[in-house]
Chains A and B, each alone.
Chain A
Amino acid sequence: MNTLMALLIGILYASGMYMVLRRSMVKLIIGLALLSHAANLLIFTMATLRRDRPPLIDESETALAAPYADPVPQALILTAIVIGFAVSAFAAIMIHRVYQTTGTDDLDQLHTTDS
C-alpha cells in the first residue's frame, strides 16, 4: 500500500504543480489545493498505514494498545488542514480581488510592476 500511496502522492504533486504553472489564476488556486492534498497524504503515509487501529484509548484501558496508527502525523495533518483552509480561503478572496482590480485572470498580464 505504501508504494501505491507514494505513486498517488507523486501524481498529486505533479498535477498540482502543473496547474500552478498555468497562467490562469483559477488554475493556480486549484493547483495549490492539490498540492496541499498531496502534502497531507504524504505526512499521513509517513506513519505506517494501519487499518482500523485509530489512536483512541478504549474505555477499559489506560493506554493505547499496540499496534496503533501513529497519532503524531494525524495531529500534524489536522493543524495543517486548518491552516491550509485559512490560507486557501484568503487566497480565493484575494484572487477575486485581484481580478476586480486588474480585470484579468491571466497572470502574464500582471507584469507591469516588476521592473
Chain B
Amino acid sequence: MNLLLVAPILVPLLTAALCLLAWKSVRVQRWLGVAGSAALLASALALFAEVDGRGMAVSHAGEWAAPFGITLAADLLGALMVVLGGIVGLMVAVYSLGSIDEGRERFGFHPLVQILLMGVCGAFLTGDLFNLYVWFEVLLMASFVLTALGGERAQMEGAIKYVTLNLVSSAIFLAALGLLYGLTHSLNMADVSLRLARLNYPALENLLAVLFFIAFGIKAAVFPLFFWLPASYHTMPVAVSALFAGLLTKVGVYALIRVFTLVFRDDVEFIKELMLVVACLTMAVGVLGAVAQMEMRRILSFHIVSQIGYMIIGLALMTPLALAGTVFYLAHHIIVKTNLFLVSGAVARATGSFELKKSGGLYAAQPGLALLFLIPALSLAGIPPLSGFWGKYILVKAGLESGQVVLVVVALAVSVFTMISMMKIWSEAFWKPHPLGLTPAPVGLLNGPIAAMAAMTLAIGFGVEPVMQLAERSAQQLLEPQTYIRAVLEARR
C-alpha cells in the first residue's frame, strides 16, 4: 500500500480526531488545525513529487487488487488538486485564527474543516465511483454543518438552499451509480470505462452521462444548476466561504473532468456539444449576476459561477490545449478566488461592512491591503502578466483554433464584465472616501495568508512556463485514459 496516496486522507482524519479529543480546548484545536493543514500540505507535496516523477501513483486499499477493492489513484491532475487543497486548507486555517468567533470554534469548526479537507482529498484521489460518492458525502456533510453553524437568519436561509440542492445532487448521483453498476457490474472507474467500451451502447451511456452531469454539475455550479451557490456563500463566515469558494465547486469540476475523460468516452461529440452550451451560458449568466451586485461576497460568488464556465471550456473542446487551459485555470482560480474571499473579510473588518456602499477609504488608509487586493482582482479579470491572463489566453486560443467563435466572444465579453465588477470593488471600497468618514482599522494577522496567496498568484503569473508544462502534461494524460486504466488495473500494490 502506497502511503503517499493514503496520507492526504489520513492526515486530516487524524487531525479531526485529535480536535474532537480536545473538544474543550479551543486553543489546542486552533493549533491542531494549523499543524494538521500544514502536514496535509506536506504530504500532498510529497505525493505530487512522486506523481510528477512517475506520471501516476496507484494504491489498492487493503491490498485488494482492482477492480475488487477500492483503488486510490493519482494522476497529475489529481495530485495537483490535492496540493491546491492543502494550500487552501492551510491558508484558511491560519486566517481563521484571527477571524472565526469563539462560539463556532467551540462547536466543532476546526474538526469540521479537517473532515471537509479529508473528503476533498478523498474525492481527488479515489479511482472508484461509489467511493467518490462516499467522499462527496463526507465533504458535503462537513460543509452542511459549517454552512449552518452559527445559525443567524441569513445563514439559515442560505443553508437550507445549499443543503437541499446538494442533497438532490447526491440523490441523482446515487441513482446514476446504481444504474451504471446494473449496466456494467463494476464500480472501478477504469474498469467501468473498459466495460462501457465493450458494451458499445451509446443511447443508454449518454443518458447515464446526463445523470452524472446533473449530479456533478450541481456541485460544480454550472448553469442552470448553480443557484445554491450565490444563495449561500455570502451568508457564511469568511473563512468558511473562502474554503468553499476555493475547493467545493472545484471538486465538482474535477469530477466532471474525471468522468468525462475517463468513463464516458463513446460519444464524445455529445459531451462536447452539451459542455459548449453549458460553458457559454455559465460564463455569461454568472458574470451578469456579478455586475448586478453591490456586496463584495455576492460579487465574488457569482464570479465563481462565471469562471466555472471557463473551466468547462476544456471539456467543450477536448483538445490538448483546451484541457491544459482548464487545468491551468483550475490552479489559478483556486488560489485567486480563495484569496479574494479572504480579502473581502479583511475589507469588511477594516471598514465595517461587506456592502460596497457602506465601505471606502482603504486606498488612502491601507495601500498595502489595496495592493494585495489588486493582485488577485486583476488576475481574476485576466490582466497580464498575472495568472488569470494566461488561463484566459490559453482557453481563448484553444477556442479560436477549434473555430468556436461564439465561445470566444462570450469568454472575452465576460472578461470585460469581470473587469467592471472588480473595478467596482476597487472604486467603492478602496478609492471612494468612507461614507461615514471613518478611517479603516488595521486588519493585522489577516494580511498574512492574503499576502502569501498574492505571492503565489504572482509566481504563477511570472513563472508561467513550468505551470503550463505541468498543465500540458496533465491534459495529455487526460486525453490518453489508457495510461490511467492500465496503471490502475495492472498495478500490484
Contacts and interface: CB of A to CB of B under 8 A. Distances in A.
A62 interface: no
Contact of B178 (A20, A43, A83): A43
A35 B171 CA distance: 7
B293 interface: yes
Interface string A72-112: 11001001100100110011001101100110000100111
| Interface residues of A, dominant DSSP | helix
B292 A110 contact: no
Interface in B212-246: 230-231, 234-235
A46 B137 contact: no
Contacts of B163: 91, 94
A47 B298 CA distance: 46
A113 B231 contact: yes
Given A36-B171, A95-B160, A97-B148, A72 B181 contact: yes
B152 A110 contact: no
Interface string A53-83: 0000000000000000000110010011001
Contact of A28 (B148, B164, B234, B289): B164
A91 B167 contact: yes
B179 A42 contact: yes
A14 interface: no
Contacts of B168: 20, 32, 35
A112 B157 contact: yes
B353 to A, nearest CB: 16
Nearest to A9: B175
Contact of A113 (B171, B185, B187, B234): B234
Contacts of B134: 79, 83
A113 B147 CA distance: 14
Contact of B148 (A35, A45, A83, A94): A94
Given A94-B148, A114-B231, A101 B153 contact: yes
Contacts of A94: 144, 148, 156, 159-160, 163
A115 interface: yes
B158 A113 contact: yes
Which of B144, B160, B234 counts the most A-chain CB atoms under 10 A from its CB?
B160
Interface in B132-182: 134, 137, 141, 144-145, 148, 151-154, 156-161, 163-164, 167-168, 170-171, 174-175, 177-179, 181-182
Contact of A115 (B156, B160, B161, B289): B289
A90 B141 contact: yes
A39 B154 contact: no
Contact of B145 (A43, A90, A112): A90
Given A39-B171, A72-B181, A94-B160, A101 B231 contact: no
Contacts of B154: 112-113
A90 B144 contact: yes
A43 B181 contact: yes
Number of chain A interface residues as a range: 35 or more
Interface string A27-48: 0100010011011001101110
Contacts of B182: 45-47
A98 to B, nearest CB: 5
B130 interface: yes
A87 B167 contact: yes
Contacts of B231: 113-114
A62 B152 CA distance: 58
A15 to B, nearest CB: 14
Nearest to A41: B178
Interface of B: 130, 134, 137, 141, 144-145, 148, 151-154, 156-161, 163-164, 167-168, 170-171, 174-175, 177-179, 181-182, 185, 187, 230-231, 234-235, 289, 292-293, 298
Interface of A: 20, 25, 28, 32, 35-36, 38-39, 42-43, 45-47, 72-73, 76, 79-80, 83, 86-87, 90-91, 94-95, 97-98, 101-102, 107, 110-115
Given A80-B174, A83-B137, A101-B156, 13 more contacts: A25-B160, A35-B168, A42-B178, A43-B181, A46-B179, A73-B181, A87-B137, A87-B170, A90-B141, A94-B148, A98-B156, A98-B159, A113-B231
22 contacts: A25-B160, A35-B168, A38-B171, A43-B177, A43-B178, A45-B182, A73-B178, A76-B177, A76-B178, A80-B174, A87-B141, A90-B141, A90-B144, A98-B160, A101-B156, A102-B153, A102-B156, A112-B157, A113-B157, A113-B158, A115-B230, A115-B289
